[in-house]
Chain A
Amino acid sequence: MEQDTIVQNRVAELIPSCLIPKNIIQNLNMIKMYFGISGTEKSGFWDAIKSIQSNDIKASFPQNTPHIVWDAANSEFRQALLELAAFTELPNDVSYSEIEIDDFKPKLDDSLKLFSTTFPELYKVFKEICPFIILGRFPGYGGGTVSTRIGMIWLSPSIDWKVSHWAENIIHEFIHNCLFLEDLVNNIFPFNSIEMENLDSHAISAIRQVKRPYDKSYHSAFVAYGLVEFYLRIFNFTKARKILNPLFICVDDLASNTKYISANGVKLLDELIEGIIEQNNFLETV
């Protein structure tokens, strides 16, 4: 009971401003404004982002979001799927069988409920930013996002994914989308690909725990922070600790070399540091 109270008290707010719902909405509104889209329709952001990044997709903003594209390979999302997975050809068995889909559906539904329970306000924003979850099997991969396909999340699930695993993957990809948005509106990474591939810019990634280009490791740090928060909120403290320790190493590396990010990028990183220190302090009390 004591523990319940502590957890309830700590869920007040995420610290990095790029993950705070009202700031994300402000980013959405800026994009709508830039593209001359007025009004408060939830479809406005998708219409705007589609016009610059996903002209090949005709689908309008779905009535119920996220809309699940179960067979992306045989739909207008085929090209997007290839880009999200960073492949030039689709694997032969990219489409899931009906038996697999029947297994996935209830778990996916439950995972969305879990997301909405653990992060109620953020979930509302998720429904607006990520109207499409597209599925396609790429053996060995779990899913992904790409900076030129904001609004879409690719998942490559397997039968052994539990509800929390589905939720973790969706939250993971959603955080990438929040960072793309922040970078789009408020600039985080001002340099081009050649500069970012420079070895000096590499930093230890929080998820893979290997040196990666700065922007990838930076993304991984915010994703890991979000996942720690998710596991804290579902009382899986062991899992939270397992993600948090490598995250400290990653963020220490990022903070020691901030010349590859903008002033806004440094501000967000400072907020993230505050956030993970708070998570660590909290974990020491449970």
Chain B
Amino acid sequence: MGTNKKEIDSLGKSAIISAEIAADSIRKYQELHTSSGRLNVNVRMALADLADKEVSNAIDATAKAAINNLERYLKAKK
């Protein structure tokens, strides 16, 4: 019973902390994202297939190097 109470208290505390962190984040977002501030506008062009064959080959070659870099990055983090 005592353990349950402790667990509930601890869950309650962590919920309060999460709510406080979220409240800070919401306030910050509201400050940053105004019509005169930092808007994240994602307007998409109608063209879907941008790359021609030559560009596409270059991308594929660069992608291989990028994959190796990212695998190393994850390994280093772990």
Contact = CB atoms under 8 A, between A and B. Distances in A.
Interface residues of B, number: 43
Contact of B37 (A158, A192, A252, A273): A192
Nearest to B62: A249
A219 B44 contact: no
Nearest to A194: B38
A156 B44 CA distance: 9
Interface stretch (A1-9, A29-37, A119-127): A29-37
Size band of the interface chain A makes with B? 35 or more
A249 B66 contact: yes
Contacts of B28: 187, 190
B10 to A, nearest CB: 18
A148 interface: yes
Contact of B43 (A86, A169, A185): A86
B74 A273 contact: yes
A186 B22 contact: yes
A282 interface: no
Given A142-B45, A185-B25, A216-B40, A30 B18 contact: yes
Interface in A226-250: 242, 244-246, 248-249
B44 A184 contact: no
Residue among B25, B45, B49, B77 with max Cβ neighbours from chain A (10 Å): B25
Nearest to B35: A148
A176 interface: yes
A265 B56 CA distance: 29
List the 3 closest A-B pairs by CB distance, nearest first. A193-B38, A252-B66, A245-B63
5 contacts: A34-B19, A143-B44, A146-B42, A173-B42, A186-B25
Given A208-B45, A252-B65, 16 more contacts: A31-B26, A34-B19, A34-B26, A139-B46, A141-B44, A144-B44, A147-B39, A165-B48, A185-B26, A193-B38, A246-B51, A248-B66, A249-B63, A252-B66, A255-B69, A277-B70
